[in-house]
Amino acid sequence: MATWICPKDGIENPHAEKRCLVCRHPNIPRIVVLQSVATGKEAEFTEPVKFGKAVFTHRFADPDAKFASDLQFEIIRDEVRVAWIIRPVGETVNPTCYDGSPLGPDGVELLDGGIISVSKSKMKLKVRFKKN
């Protein structure tokens, strides 16, 4: 059975638990990595961040960046939901999608291997997490 060790109290917890069974410390990956499916270029972050056309153009060098708005989406660390969340930012020319479905206003939890895109097929970014 897969487990994780709580960094606060050293207790071994079942992998499916989002919080330590003893101290309730959240088990959220510290580092999120987004990788452009088209170019292979990556961006790593540990804090909330907003993404838009300029980042897609310069950081990922993706030709599909032209389909994005100046601000397209944000990714936040949600301690209540115990997850990294992607949610839309304001009005966009094309919707942000996660695994092919448009994001609602509350956003969705990012999962390892998930695909973020502008519209259903442009500017695809693969999600992965680095271990804490």
Per-residue pLDDT of the chain (132 residues; tens, 9 = 90+): 789 999 999 999 998 899 999 999 999 999 999 999 999 999 999 999 999 999 999 999 999 999 999 999 999 999 999 999 999 998 999 999 999 999 999 999 999 999 999 999 999 999 999 875
- Report the SS3 class of residue 18: coil
Tokens found for residue 125: 């970014």
pLDDT at 41: 97
CA 22, distance to chain mean position in Å, is 27
Domains of the chain: 29-130 (2.60.200.20)
Read out DSSP for 88-131? E-S--SS-EEETTEEPPTT-EE--TT-EEEETTTEEEEEEEEE-
State the pLDDT at residue 15.
87
pLDDT of amino acid 132: 56
Nearest to 81 by CA among 2, 41, 27: 27
